[in-house]
Amino acid sequence: MREDTDVVSVHFQLLDRVSVRVCPNTPSMMRLRLNTGMDSGGSLTISLRANKTEMRNETIIVACVNAASPFLGFNSSLNCTTAFFQGYPLSLSAWSRRANLIIPYPETDNWYLSLQLMCPENTEECEQAVVHVETTLYLVPCLNDCGPYGQCLLLRRHSYLYAGCSCKAGWRGWSCTDNSTAQTVAQQRAAALLLTLSNLMFLAPITVSVKRFFLVEASVYAYTMFFSTFYHACDQPGEAVLCILNYDTLQYCDFLGSGAAIWVTILCMARLKAVLKYVLFLLGTLVIAMSLQLDRRGIWNMLGPCLFAFVIMASMWTYRCGHRRQCYPTSWQRWTFYLLPGISMASVGVAIYTSMMTSDNYYYTHSIWHVLLAGSAALLLPPPDEHTEPWTCSQKFPCHYQICKNDREELYTVT
């Protein structure tokens, strides 16, 4: 019986019994229906276990797994080859009562498991022997759920669905069990600290924003720092991992915060009117959220809004240059100590993010990206508006009490 348990997850089990009855005269056969068109993206796992008390020293059980047609010629050949398929052989004996087989990405068809008890020559007692074999048959997306050093991912293309393990920390293999190039625990912890602590650089633009009364921008930077820190803490495999929320939620919030931080920084540099600036803040963030839902790792999710914001900023600066008949910003100190270093840091960060970041140097290059993004935001933020009131309360009450002398009535009155 076929039981679909999840996406690319199927459990095959016998209807009326626990184990298969295997005899020496005729093969016992089971059909596994993997012909739905959605079963070729996982791994077919077959586990056999023979009854200990029924196995004799001189007998063996031979099994074959084939697609399209079963293998029935155990008496003449044991290579499991049919006219349609080169099968997979398995064997059980008194010394090895278990056998396992894993077939990655099985082709769409009816698969067959054939078993037969083989007796040595001139053994009449074996001809009447019967052995019961327990079978465990599953179709799973990823073996062992990729273990602690991997993540099981599903890929859908043109109505085909495939599953595979994305290994981390240098681990390899079908289920991320090959540690030939794996990182040590110390290296994993160092990488996790590097990726998380580099986000503390966002304290610089948060402080600058608060001092210059850009409270919305400071809130966006704080949001980005928080979710980027905990996303990278959850993104690490093995020992160095800490997840306060679902991994997918943390990843989405991290990408959204990064895009929104760049968006609000460029628009803040444009020095728009307050109402227009906050409307663009909100609309841009909503567009970024929509694009991330469509394609989270698309390069235009961040590049598109940033280019649009840059066009707005360039237009406003050009207008001010023509209106004032001088370069904007007018201060050479601002160009020398703030704008040019900030633009250089942002350019280097974008170059690293788009062309230099690989899986091998991810821990270092992405940490540098955090530092450059936060540092450029702190340098590029414009000075506060001249009419902005300071944080200290300097407003005087319109009315106050004063004691004055009335010479006519020789009384003191309060006015």
Q: pLDDT at residue 401 above 60?
A: no
Q: pLDDT at residue 21 above 50?
A: yes
Answer whether 62's CB lies under 8 Å from 90's CB: yes
Query: pLDDT category, 113, cuts 50, 70, 90?
Result: very high
**Tokens linked to 135:** 């079978």
Where do the domains of the chain lie, and which CATH numbers do they carry?
2-141 (2.60.120.680), 185-380 (1.20.1070)
Query: 209 φ, ψ to 5°?
Result: -65, -45
Query: pLDDT category, 399, cuts 50, 70, 90?
Result: low
pLDDT at res. 359:
77
* Long-range contacts from 76-84, C-beta under 8 angstroms, 24+ separation: none
Query: Which is more confident, 299 or 251?
Result: 251
pLDDT at res. 73:
84
pLDDT at res. 210:
94
Answer whether 72's CB lies under 8 Å from 112's CB: no
Look up tokens 């340098």; give the residue. 379
Of the candidates 264, 308, 307, 315, which has an alpha carbon nearest to the alpha carbon of residue 285? 264
Q: pLDDT at residue 353 above 90?
A: no
Query: pLDDT category, 414, cuts 50, 70, 90?
Result: very low
Question: In which element (H, E) is residue 322 found?
Answer: helix 300-324
pTM greater than the 0.85 cutoff: no
Q: pLDDT at residue 125 above 80?
A: no
Report the range of poorest mean pLDDT among 116-125, 220-229, 334-343, 367-376. 116-125
**Looking at residues 201-225, what average pLDDT do you find?**
95
Strands (E), 23-108: 28-34, 43-50, 60-67, 88-93, 98-104
- Report how far residue 19's alpha carbon sits from residue 136's, in angstroms, rounded to the nearest whole number: 9
Exposed e or buried b for every residue in 27-46, given b needs 16+ CB within 10 A? bbebebebeeebbbbbbbbb
Q: pLDDT at residue 215 above 60?
A: yes
Answer whether 37's CB lies under 8 Å from 6's CB: no
Look up tokens 């270093």; give the residue. 341
Look up tokens 């009816």; give the residue. 110
pLDDT at res. 357:
86
Answer whether 104's CB lies under 8 Å from 43's CB: yes
Residue 63 CB-half CA count within 13 A:
28
The mean pLDDT value of the chain amounts to 85
Q: What are 56-107's pLDDT values in tens digits?
A: 777 888 999 999 899 888 877 778 888 888 889 999 888 888 999 999 999 9
Q: What are 144-154's pLDDT values in tens digits?
A: 888 888 889 98
Residues in the chain: 415
Query: pLDDT category, 198, cuts 50, 70, 90?
Result: very high
**Looking at residues 11-39, what average pLDDT do you find?**
86
Query: pLDDT category, 298, cuts 50, 70, 90?
Result: confident
